[in-house]
Structure 1
Amino acid sequence: MTGGSSADSAFAADKNGNVRFDDDRLLIDGVPRVLMCASLFPFRVPRSQWRHRLQAVKRLGYHAIDVYVPWNYHETAPGTWDFTGQRDIDAFLRLAHETGLYAMVRPGPYICSEWDGGAIPAWVATDPSVDVRQNDPGFLDAVRGWYDRILPIIARRQYGQGGPVIMVQADNELDFFSCRDPQGYIGALVGMMRKAGIGVPIVACAGQGDYERAGAGPSGAAPAVNIYQDDDGVGWELQTRYYRNASRGYGAPLIVTETNRRHRTLRRLVGSGARFVGPFLQVSGWDFDYGTSVNNWGRLETFMTHDYDFGGVIDPAGHERPDAADARRLCAIIDALGERLATAEPVDDDPIGMDASSDAGGGEDGRSGGERESGVRNADGSLLDPDGQRIAVGELALGGGGRLVTITNVSDASATLTLADGMTLSVPAGAGLMAVRDLPLNGRLTLAATDGELVRLDEHRATLSAPTMIPGTVHAVLRIGATNGAEAAVSCRTSGDVVADMLNGRVDITGTEGEVRLVRADGTEYDVVVTQPERAVPDTATSSGGDESASRGSGSCGTVALTDVETGIAQPEWVVACDGSDEPRSLESIGVYRGTARYRAATGGETALGVVLRNAADIVDVTYGTARTDRLATGQSATWIRFPEPASGDEITVHTGIWGHCNFDDSRLDALRLSAGRGMDGLLLVQREIDCGDGWIISDGRTDANDGPVRFGPAVGRRPGPRSSFASRSTTVWPNRLTYTTALHVGSVDAAMRFDGIRCRCDVLVDGRSAGSATPWQPTVWLGPIRNGSVLSVVVWKTWGEDAGRPMLLVGRNVHGWTVASWDYDQLEQADRQCRYTTSTLPINVPDGGGVWVRVASDRLKAACDGMNTVVRFRGSHLQLTAVTDRYRLGRVVLGGLPGTGFAGGHGDYLLVPEDAGDLRVYCEATAASGGRLDGVTLGGPIDLRRR
Structure 2
Amino acid sequence: MEPGHGRVDPAHPADDPGVLPGTAVPVRNGHQRRECGGQVTVEVDARGIRIDGDAQVVLCASLFYFRLPREQWRERLEQVRRSGYTCVDVYLPWNFHEVSPGQWSFEGRRDVAAYLDLAFELGLHVIARPGPYICSEWDGGALPAWLGLDPALGVRQNEPQYLAQVTAWFDQVLPIIAARQQGAGGAVIMVQLENELDFFDCADRPGYLSALRDQAVAHGIDVPLIACSGQGDLFGATGNVEGVVPACNFYPNDDSPFVEEEVRRYAQLLAERGLPLLITETNRRHRTLRRMLASGASLLAPYLQSSGWNFGYTPSSGNWGRPGNFMSHGYDFNGYVSSTGVERPEYAEAQVLAWVLAALGPRLASATPGESIEVVTDFPTSSSHSVLELDGGGRLVAVPNLGSDDGQAIVAGIPVAVAADSCPLMLLDLPLGETTLRLASADLMDSRQGLLFCSSVPVTVAIGNTTEEIPVGSSRTVEGVVVTVEPPPEVDTPEATDVQHGTVRRRTSAAPSTPAGTHELAPTLESLGAYRGRGTYTATTDLTDELLVVGAADIVDLSIGGRVHTLAGFGATERIDVRGLTGELRATVEIWGHANFDDTRLPSLRLGALRGLGSVWNVVETHDLSALWTVDGHWAGDPAPLRSLTGWSSTRIGTPITYSRAIAPDRPAALHLDGVREPVAVTVDDGQPVTVHAENPWVMLPAGTKQLSVTAPHHPTSGGLRAELLTLSPILDWTCAVQDDELLTAFAVRRESGTEIELPLTLAPGAETWLDVELPTLENGLLIRPDGAQVRITGWASGECLGRVWLGERPAFSGGDPDVLWIPPGWSGLTLLVQGVAGPATPELRTIGIETT
Q: Which residue of the other structure, out of 404, 410, 417, is the alignment partner of 1:418? A: 410
Identity of aligned residues (%): 36
Describe the superposition over 1:470-528 as per-residue Cα deviations: whole angstroms up to 9, x where unpaired: xxxxxx543221331xx544443499xxxxxxxxxxx9x9xx97788x8xxxxx94686
Amino acid at match of 2:445: V
Number of the residue aligned with 1:428: 419
1:647 Cα deviation from its structure 2 partner: 1.7
Answer yes or no: is the 8 Å Cα contact 2:308–2:331 preserved in 1: yes
**Change over 3 Å in CA distance of 1:221–1:62 after alignment to 2:** same
Q: Which residue of the other structure, out of 230, 234, 242, is the alignment partner of 2:257? A: 234
Where does 1:548-587 land on structure 2 (aligned, <5 Å)? 554-560=493-499, 565-577=504-516, 579-587=517-525
Where does 1:215-254 land on structure 2 (aligned, <5 Å)? 215=238, 217-254=240-277
1:159 Cα deviation from its structure 2 partner: 1.3
1:63 is the counterpart of 2:94? no
1:601 is the counterpart of 2:539? yes
Q: 2:740, 2:494 → 1: CA distance?
A: 34
Number of the residue aligned with 1:904: 814
Q: 1:563, 1:711 → 2: CA distance?
A: 81
Answer yes or no: is the 8 Å Cα contact 1:665–1:673 preserved in 2: yes
Describe the superposition over 1:248-288 as per-residue Cα deviations: whole angstroms up to 9, x where unpaired: 12222111000110011111111222111000110111111
Where does 1:839-854 land on structure 2 (aligned, <5 Å)? 839-854=756-771
Describe the superposition over 1:324-358 as per-residue Cα deviations: whole angstroms up to 9, x where unpaired: 1111111110111001101111213x3x244x353
Q: Secondary structure at the match of 1:335?
A: helix
Q: Secondary structure at the match of 2:345?
A: coil
Number of the residue aligned with 2:547: 611
Q: Which residue of the other structure, out of 683, 697, 701, is the alignment partner of 1:779? A: 697
Answer yes or no: is the 8 Å Cα contact 1:627–1:644 preserved in 2: no
1:533 Cα deviation from its structure 2 partner: 4.1
Answer yes or no: is the 8 Å Cα contact 1:572–1:828 preserved in 2: yes
Q: 1:818, 1:229 → 2: CA distance?
A: 49
Number of the residue aligned with 1:641: 575
Amino acid at match of 1:648: T
Q: 1:643, 1:207 → 2: CA distance?
A: 43
Number of the residue aligned with 2:399: 407
Describe the superposition over 1:63-110 as per-residue Cα deviations: whole angstroms up to 9, x where unpaired: 100000000000000000000000000110111111111110000001
Q: Which residue of the other structure, out of 442, 448, 453, is the alignment partner of 1:452? A: 442
Answer yes or no: is the 8 Å Cα contact 2:34–2:222 preserved in 1: no
Answer yes or no: is the 8 Å Cα contact 1:16–1:199 preserved in 2: no
Amino acid at match of 2:463: C
RMSD: 2.9
Amino acid at match of 1:758: V
Number of the residue aligned with 2:294: 271
Where does 1:724-763 land on structure 2 (aligned, <5 Å)? 724-733=643-652, 734-744=654-664, 748-763=666-681
Q: 1:40, 1:633 → 2: CA distance?
A: 32
Q: 1:632, 1:758 → 2: CA distance?
A: 21
Q: Which residue of the other structure, out of 479, 484, 487, is the alignment partner of 1:530? A: 484
**Change over 3 Å in CA distance of 1:712–1:742 after alignment to 2:** farther
Answer yes or no: is the 8 Å Cα contact 2:62–2:89 preserved in 1: yes
Q: 2:175, 2:709 → 1: CA distance?
A: 55
- Whichever of the two has the greater Rg, that structure is 1
Q: Secondary structure at the match of 2:597?
A: coil
Q: Secondary structure at the match of 1:57?
A: helix
Q: Secondary structure at the match of 1:192?
A: helix
Q: Secondary structure at the match of 2:154?
A: coil
1:390 Cα deviation from its structure 2 partner: 5.8
1:660 is the counterpart of 2:579? no
Amino acid at match of 2:557: D
Answer yes or no: is the 8 Å Cα contact 1:152–1:196 preserved in 2: yes
Q: Which moved more, 1:334-343 or 1:653-662?
A: 653-662
Q: Secondary structure at the match of 1:214?
A: helix
Number of the residue aligned with 2:452: 479
1:246 Cα deviation from its structure 2 partner: 1.4
Number of the residue aligned with 2:428: 437
Answer yes or no: is the 8 Å Cα contact 2:419–2:456 preserved in 1: no
Q: Which residue of the other structure, out of 529, 534, 558, is the alignment partner of 1:622? A: 558
Q: Which moved more, 1:118-127 or 1:406-415?
A: 406-415
1:742 Cα deviation from its structure 2 partner: 4.4
Amino acid at match of 2:442: G
**Change over 3 Å in CA distance of 1:609–1:526 after alignment to 2:** farther
Q: 1:767, 1:400 → 2: CA distance?
A: 71
Number of the residue aligned with 2:20: none
Describe the superposition over 1:285-338 as per-residue Cα deviations: whole angstroms up to 9, x where unpaired: 111121111123362121111111111110000110111111111111011100
Q: Which residue of the other structure, out of 201, 218, 236, is the alignment partner of 1:213? A: 236
**Change over 3 Å in CA distance of 1:390–1:101 after alignment to 2:** closer
Describe the superposition over 1:905-947 as per-residue Cα deviations: whole angstroms up to 9, x where unpaired: 11211011102210111101112177511122211166xxxxx
Q: Which residue of the other structure, out of 708, 731, 741, is the alignment partner of 1:825? A: 741
Number of the residue aligned with 1:937: 848
Q: Which residue of the other structure, out of 121, 125, 129, is the alignment partner of 1:106? A: 129
Number of the residue aligned with 2:22: none
Q: Which moved more, 1:115-124 or 1:6-15?
A: 6-15
Answer yes or no: is the 8 Å Cα contact 1:563–1:936 preserved in 2: no
Q: 1:766, 1:434 → 2: CA distance?
A: 61
Q: 1:32, 1:440 → 2: CA distance?
A: 20
Amino acid at match of 1:123: W
Instruction: State the TM-score, normalizing by the size of structure 2.
Output: 0.90
Amino acid at match of 1:682: S
Q: Secondary structure at the match of 1:822?
A: strand
Q: 2:530, 2:566 → 1: CA distance?
A: 24
1:810 Cα deviation from its structure 2 partner: 2.5
Q: Secondary structure at the match of 2:137?
A: coil
1:725 Cα deviation from its structure 2 partner: 3.3
Amino acid at match of 1:602: T
Q: Secondary structure at the match of 1:408?
A: coil
Instruction: State the TM-score, normalizing by the size of structure 1.
Output: 0.81
Describe the superposition over 1:520-578 as per-residue Cα deviations: whole angstroms up to 9, x where unpaired: xxxx946866351445x9x9xxxxxxxxxxxxx9541322466963332432222122x
1:201 Cα deviation from its structure 2 partner: 0.6
Q: 2:486, 2:681 → 1: CA distance?
A: 68
Answer yes or no: is the 8 Å Cα contact 1:477–1:515 preserved in 2: no
Describe the superposition over 1:715-760 as per-residue Cα deviations: whole angstroms up to 9, x where unpaired: xxxxxx544433323223241222231445x7x4443232233224
Answer yes or no: is the 8 Å Cα contact 1:684–1:751 preserved in 2: no
Answer yes or no: is the 8 Å Cα contact 2:137–2:319 preserved in 1: no
**Change over 3 Å in CA distance of 1:684–1:532 after alignment to 2:** same
1:492 is the counterpart of 2:457? no
